[in-house]
Amino acid sequence: MISNTIDQEIKQAMLAKNQVKLRGLRAIKAALLLAKTEKGTTEEVTEETELRILQRLLKQRRESADIYKQQNREDLSLIEEEEIEVIGSFMPQQLNRAEVTSIVADLIRTSGASSVKEMGKVMGLVNKELAGKADGKLIAEIVKEQLA
């Protein structure tokens, strides 16, 4: 579980006085704690849920970094990029476009989907299969291409 690793990493970052890593780790820990204590949550947070949380954090940071760059705020953009690096270190190895295309093609074949109208069904299957291993935009793009 990622949450166990985060606690150990926070201690190490504090001892090493690594403020950059510490900031990123604390952001992850806060998001995981929030997920555990959300209203209506009764079960433990699974590793799949943790990966989705990390993906969301990465997406937020990338969007913020882009906005800061557009506004010529390199200082703030740098902070976001540092956090992206820390958060990304807890993600599994990302698949390249060819690997994602191959997996999507197999899942489309097994599901029997044949038109863009069935994109939601295919996206559900693909997202379950590739949880944390590929970017959602890339997956959606490839699914749309395959079904068109």
Note the pLDDT of residue 74.
Answer: 94
107-110 long-range contacts (CB < 8 A, ≥24 apart) are 108/143, 108/146, 108/147
**What is the structure's pLDDT at 41?**
66
Q: What average pLDDT does this structure show over 55-78?
A: 94
Collapse the DSSP code of 65 into the 3-class scheme (helix H, G, I; strand E, B; otherwise coil) and give the result.
helix
Closest CA to 59 of 143, 145, 146, 138: 138
> Taking the CA atoms of the chain, what radius of gyration do you get in angstroms?
18
Q: Are 107 and 123 in contact (CB under 8 A)?
A: no
pTM of the model: 0.75
Q: Where residue 42 falls among pLDDT bands split at 50, 70, 90?
A: low
Of 22-26, 37-41, 82-86, give the lowest mean pLDDT range.
Answer: 37-41
Cβ(57)–Cβ(31) below 8 Å: yes
Which comes out higher in pLDDT, residue 20 or 147? 20
pLDDT (mean) for 19-46: 85
State the Cα torsion 96-101-107-112 to the nearest 10°: 170
